[in-house]
Amino acid sequence: MSVNFLHQLLIAPIPYLPKSLVWTLSRRYIAGTDLASAFDVVRTLNNAGCCATVDVLGEDSTTREEVEQARDLYLAAIAGIDRKKLDCNVSVKLSDFGLRMDAEYCYAAIRELARRAKEQRNFVRIDMEDSSVTDVTLNIYQRLRNDFENVGTVIQACMRRSPDDVKHLLDTGPTHIRLCKGIYLEAEEIAFTAADDIRVAYGVLLEQLFVGGAVKVGIATHDPHLVEQAKGLIERLQIDRSRYEFQMLLGVAENMRASLVGDGHPLRVYVPFGERWFAYSVRRLRENPEIAGHIVRNLFTRH
């Protein structure tokens, strides 16, 4: 049976499953539907020695009202983080801020968030979405970092263009990067698709970022091989703890997470929450057969 066929078999019925069942499948990875639930999870993570980043679930806003709603929720998030003295920043998908609808409107909204985050000594990470928006996302990041130090974005190791993007970013200003493998299914012409090739690319990019002087690098992976490699690189290049942090998704690789924290490495957990968890779960499951596999496996595993 081909992987694709298996994937289709696993995920085709998901949008038709009862919401309560999809919730059971996804809840390990999602803090809840509101900010209060996200803050509870962040507090628990902070108590366990991890910092966090909250992500309001949502993508592809199509009206200005939706963009304003998303922006206001993020503004409430940074205000709450400040008030509750949580060790937490925010991660944003620009499509949630209307990128595909009106890129300038999106820029104005994310700029407002960056400005308010700066006032509250917080940080805004711009997630990277699929390849149709890589250029415009990097462009908005570069415009923002001309005025704000408290913004960063994401580089996907799977993308063949990434070494050039990293070089350009490092050559042109202070660079805060989260490095991940990349979750979107992309064409072979523009992306590595074999797991080994993506791993090799990841190692090369991580070294490029450290050696090239990135202000801070988020090492976002649960791949034990890459985590070991990163630890070796940090040791070899004598990278100060202020210049990196490991990053993991809520509910994933918790043992490895605890062991990294136990060894004194900075570690941030990505905490998604929001009303739109159903659409998010279905889309994630559809996009990535591996995740469909993980979630289905979770259904049969005791926690």
Catalytic positions, please? 127, 178
Q: Output the smallest distance, CB 235 to ligand FAD, in A.
A: 20
Q: Output the smallest distance, CB 210 to ligand FAD, in A.
A: 18
Q: Between 277 and 296, how does the x/- string for binding to ligand FAD read (CB under 6 A)?
A: -------------xx--x--
Which range in 17-25, 76-84, 109-117, 249-257 contacts ligand FAD by CB under 6 A?
A: 249-257
Nearer to ligand FAD by C-beta: 25 or 78? 25
- In the list 58, 152, 182, 272, the residue contacting ligand FAD (rule: CB under 6 A) is 182
* Residue 89 engages ligand FAD in binding (rule: CB under 6 A): no
* Residue 57 engages ligand FAD in binding (rule: CB under 6 A): no
Q: Output the smallest distance, CB 281 to ligand FAD, in A.
A: 11
Nearer to ligand FAD by C-beta: 233 or 252? 252
Q: What is the Cα–Cα distance from 13 to 261, expressed in whole angstroms?
A: 39
Nearer to ligand FAD by C-beta: 176 or 181? 181
- In the list 39, 107, 244, 270, the residue contacting ligand FAD (rule: CB under 6 A) is 270
- In the list 109, 128, 206, 292, the residue contacting ligand FAD (rule: CB under 6 A) is 128
- In the list 43, 143, 160, 222, the residue contacting ligand FAD (rule: CB under 6 A) is 222
* Residue 181 engages ligand FAD in binding (rule: CB under 6 A): yes
The closest of 292, 276, 277 to 69, measured between CA atoms, is: 276
Q: Which residues bind ligand FAD (CB under 6 A)?
A: 127-128, 154, 156, 178, 180-184, 220-223, 247-249, 252-253, 270, 290-291, 294
